[in-house]
Amino acid sequence: MTSSTTLTFTNRSEMSGEYTFQFTPTQGEIIFSHEWNLTCYNVWGKYTGSGTEGDIHLPYNIQLRVKNMWGSQNFGRLHIETREITPNSITVKYWIKCYHPGEWYNGLSYSGKLTCMTPGDTQTEVIRTYSRPIFVDENLETEFPLESRIFVRATDGIETGGTRDCTVTTDSGEQIVIPLTELPDALGYYIGSFLITSGGTWQGLLRLHMEEFERATLKCDVNQDGVYSYWEIWAEEKGPGQLEVVITFADGEYTEMASSFDAEATVFVLATGMYIG
């Protein structure tokens, strides 16, 4: 299966980033393809460049050459490397090394379509939590103090618009649903927030009760295909021990907890673990 993301830069100071491709477990080879377009300006006017390359194995780099009616020159070199790889994902780091940054005027526009190809099913659904509403790696977090506001960002790599529901369930069975709204200036990204507290759970205020060292799982079907993306957080910190927890539900979406059932009823079971001190 294949999955794509578009790398975009509009000024010299932001020509770097990371992206995670999610996929079902595969032991096959992971390869990439890349298509790019670059427009930039200097004292000699407007320059443009483009290119396509397939069968890419990381690490990878390519010279970005641009031209106009007066000639051509090298703008810089694009580098793409593997930052982390797991059985279910690969995170890539990318940056452009501009040779003469002071030479280029405002108006820079770079767009690069990076496609990941694996033998397994690839999905672009990703959900992450942050300590601040600035969604950069420095603020990425999984352990939060009680009474903290947690900022959530999800993406499907597709500009589908609207809102998404993110369900957050603690190992003790507390649950809220967070609405995620697409960013108007970053289409394909959905954001929201909620508070974890030692007080009671309150859906209307998006407050979720958690105990110290407890885990909560975020679940969101970002591209609405029936396949969920998951992410875990802990209150205060990840505890040293693990206690098995079994919760029963009356529905297949695992939203309605129940402990008594009619005869012949279908019971949906969630077995998980809770970290305790």
Within this chain, do residues 93 and 114 fall inside the same structural domain, yes or no? yes
| Residue of 160, 172, 228, 218 lying closest to 192 (CA atoms) | 218
Gyration radius (Cα) of the chain, Å: 22
| Other residues' Cβ atoms within 10 Å of the Cβ of residue 30 | 19
Q: What pLDDT does residue 261 have?
A: 72
| Of 208, 131, 222, 198, the residue nearest 177 (C-alpha) | 208
The one-letter amino acid code at 213 reads: F
pLDDT tens-place string over residues 188-239: 789 999 999 999 999 999 999 999 999 999 999 887 877 778 888 999 887 6
What confidence score (pLDDT) does residue 46 get? 93
86 CB-contact burial (10 Å; exposed 0-12 / middle 13-18 / buried 19+): exposed
Q: In this structure, are 25 and 149 located in the same domain? A: no
- N-terminal to C-terminal alpha carbon distance within the chain: 42
Last residue of one domain, picked from the residues 123, 148, 180: 123
- Write down the pLDDT at residue 87: 66
pLDDT at 274: 42
Mark out the alpha helices in 91-235 (DSSP H runs): none
Confidence at residue 246, expressed as pLDDT on a 0 to 100 scale:
63
Chosen domain end from 62, 94, 123: 123
Shared domain for 180 and 260, answered yes or no, is: yes
| pLDDT score at 277 | 37
Q: Which residues lie below 8 Å from residue 100, measured CB to CB, with a gap of 6+?
A: none
Q: Is the pTM of this model over 0.85?
A: no
Domain boundary among 123, 147, 166: 123
Task: Name residues of the chain where pLDDT drops below 70.
Answer: 1, 24-28, 87, 119-124, 157-160, 239-247, 249, 252-257, 259, 270-277
Q: Are residues 53 and 167 in the same domain?
A: no
Is 34 in the same domain as 136? no
CA separation for the pair 201, 175 (Å, rounded): 8
pLDDT in tens, 34-48: 999 999 998 889 999
Identify the sign of the CA torsion 10, 15, 21, 26: positive
180 with 214, same domain: the answer is: yes
**What does the pLDDT read at residue 234?**
92
Enclosing domain of residue 201: 126-276
**DSSP 8-state code for residue 101:** G
Count structural domains, the chain: 2
